[in-house]
Amino acid sequence: MSSDVPNLNAHETRLFGVLVEKSLTTPDNYPLSLNAAVNGSNQKSNRDPVVDYMEAEVHIAFQGLLMKHLAGRVTGASSRTEKYRHNGRETLGLDDRGLAVLAELMMRGPQTAGDLRARANRMSALPTQDDLRAVLDTLIERGYVRSLPPAPGSRAGRFGELLGPGRAEPAGKESAGEESAGEDGDPDPAGASPASSAPGRSSTPPQAGLAARVESLEGEVASLRRDLADLMAQLGVGEPDAE
């Protein structure tokens, strides 16, 4: 992966995806206020997993995106409310199609090409699988996306983004070109969650799953603390006391 690829935590990943989505689907209501960003992050449609972020969490995530040059502040002449926009075109060098595909992966996790095109098409037109393939090739070349093996119970390869924490699972032996052969024949419905296509398939003990989740949450908290410490340093405020 290129060293230029931004490293985002889970909150920043969801928030960047939401900013891109709203800029392409509801441009009249974009840029987003903090409250609109909270609602967009927590909405129950087109999200996996569904989250319940607090306003303070989204505010800290915005500071992280600002420091990583992936978001900017906007203050309109007719409103004192501070709003935010994404800088995906400038910082990542992507057009609307590339941003739509990347945002979809950020908001829903790894997906097959068939599901990905159906969902990203609502943000930017992707008439054919060849159109999607061209976008994916660009994203893979730049280190933003990687190809993944099929989910258990499916024959179609998947794709995952590489900016967020652990969102793209380790790739199997199949190459991106080999995976695409089975994409149109994917038996999974377009609305199915990528993580739920084969219920009951996991043999991992519940204790191991809980330990992994705790470890993931601890890592996310540590990342948020670092972002907060950086922000307070920029503001000239003392670092927050450790709990």
pLDDT for 199 equals: 38
Which tens digit of pLDDT belongs to each residue from 168-178?
A: 555 444 433 33
For the chain, which residues make up each domain, given as ranges? Answer: 109-188
Residues 6+ apart with CB under 8 A from 87: 69, 70, 71, 72
| pLDDT tens string 20-66 | 999 999 999 999 999 999 999 999 999 999 999 999 999 999 999 99
Q: Order of strands across the sheet with 32-33?
A: 32-33, 82-86, 71-75
Choose among 87, 38, 45: nearest CA to 61: 38
pLDDT value, residue 13: 98
Give the pLDDT score at 19.
98
* Res 15: pLDDT: 98
Q: 109-188: which CATH architecture?
A: Orthogonal Bundle (1.10)
Which of 1, 7, 3 shows the shortest CA–CA distance to 226?
7
Query: How many Cβ atoms sit within 10 Å of the Cβ of residue 228?
Result: 16
Q: What is the pLDDT of residue 238?
A: 59
pLDDT attached to residue 94:
98
pLDDT confidence of residue 100: 98
Q: Which two tokens stand for residue 128?
A: 């054919």
CB atoms within 10 A of CB 28: 4
Q: Which helix (H) or strand (E) holds 144?
A: none
44, 36 contact by CB (below 8 A): no
Q: Residue ranges of the chain with pLDDT lower than 50?
A: 1, 171-204, 206, 242-243
CB atoms inside a 10 Å sphere around CB 154: 19
CB atoms within 10 A of CB 219: 14
State the pTM of this model.
Answer: 0.71
Question: What pLDDT, on the 0 to 100 scale, is given for residue 157?
Answer: 95
What is the per-residue pLDDT for 139?
98
